[in-house]
């Protein structure tokens, strides 16, 4: 009999404790679950990406490596952050050596006919470059603003 009263007492405490809750846990099952959206609407919401605006966009400038150490164009003016791409249109491999302030600034790896070498110029200044400096080819200039 004592066991019966103990069980009744425990049940009464649990019921009264549950009845006093007024938070989100006391909501009905319908209120706590979000409404299901059709698949099309849900997909539209997840695909919305805010557009970013950039004031300046870096550009790529192309220089063709010609035969006998010549380049086209021979002089180029670009903005800081722009990329220059040298395209080897000669029948021989090429190496581009870039100088800034009379010192070696950058060397490319050998690149075969039809291949290219890219470099992004981040700092303003005047740069000179040659193809395979051992061959007395023409030098050319890139001015970065």
The answer to whether 83 and 61 are in contact (CB under 8 A) is yes
Closest Cα partner for 62 from 84, 92, 40?
Answer: 84
Distances in whole angstroms, Cα of residue 103 to Cα of each of 39, 85, 107, 128, 129:
61, 21, 11, 10, 11
Please tell me the class of the 60-144 domain: mainly beta
User: What are the residue boundaries of the structural domains of the chain, listed by start?
Assistant: 60-144
pLDDT at 54: 47
* Cα 68 to Cα 85: distance, rounded to the nearest angstrom: 19
pLDDT at 103: 92
Give the strand order in the sheet containing 140-144.
Answer: 75-78, 140-144, 125-131, 96-100, 103-107
Question: β-pairing, 116-120 with 60-65?
Answer: unpaired
* Tokens encoding 140: 């050319």
pTM over 0.85: no
CA angle 97, 65, 126 (to 5 degrees): 45
What is the pLDDT tens value at each position of the chain, 145 positions in all? 788 777 877 776 666 666 665 555 545 445 555 555 555 555 555 555 555 544 556 677 999 988 877 899 999 999 999 999 999 999 988 899 999 998 999 999 999 999 999 999 999 999 999 988 666 677 899 999 9
Give the strand order in the sheet containing 60-65.
Answer: 71-72, 60-65, 83-88, 116-120
pLDDT at 62: 93
pLDDT at 68: 79
């Amino acid at each position: 009999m004592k066991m019966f009263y103990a069980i009744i007492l425990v049940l009464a405490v649990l019921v009264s404790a549950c009845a006093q809750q007024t938070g989100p846990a006391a909501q009905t099952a319908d209120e706590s679950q979000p409404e299901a959206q059709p698949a099309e609407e849900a997909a539209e919401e997840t695909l919305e990406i805010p557009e970013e605006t950039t004031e300046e966009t870096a550009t790529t400038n192309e220089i063709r490596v010609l035969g006998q150490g010549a380049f086209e164009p021979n002089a180029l003016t670009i903005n800081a952050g722009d990329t220059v791409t040298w395209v080897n249109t000669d029948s021989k491999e090429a190496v581009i050596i870039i100088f800034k302030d009379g010192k070696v600034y950058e060397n490319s790896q050998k690149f075969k006919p039809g291949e290219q070498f890219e470099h992004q110029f981040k700092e303003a200044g005047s740069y000179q470059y040659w193809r395979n400096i051992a061959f007395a080819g023409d030098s050319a200039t890139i001015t970065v603003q």
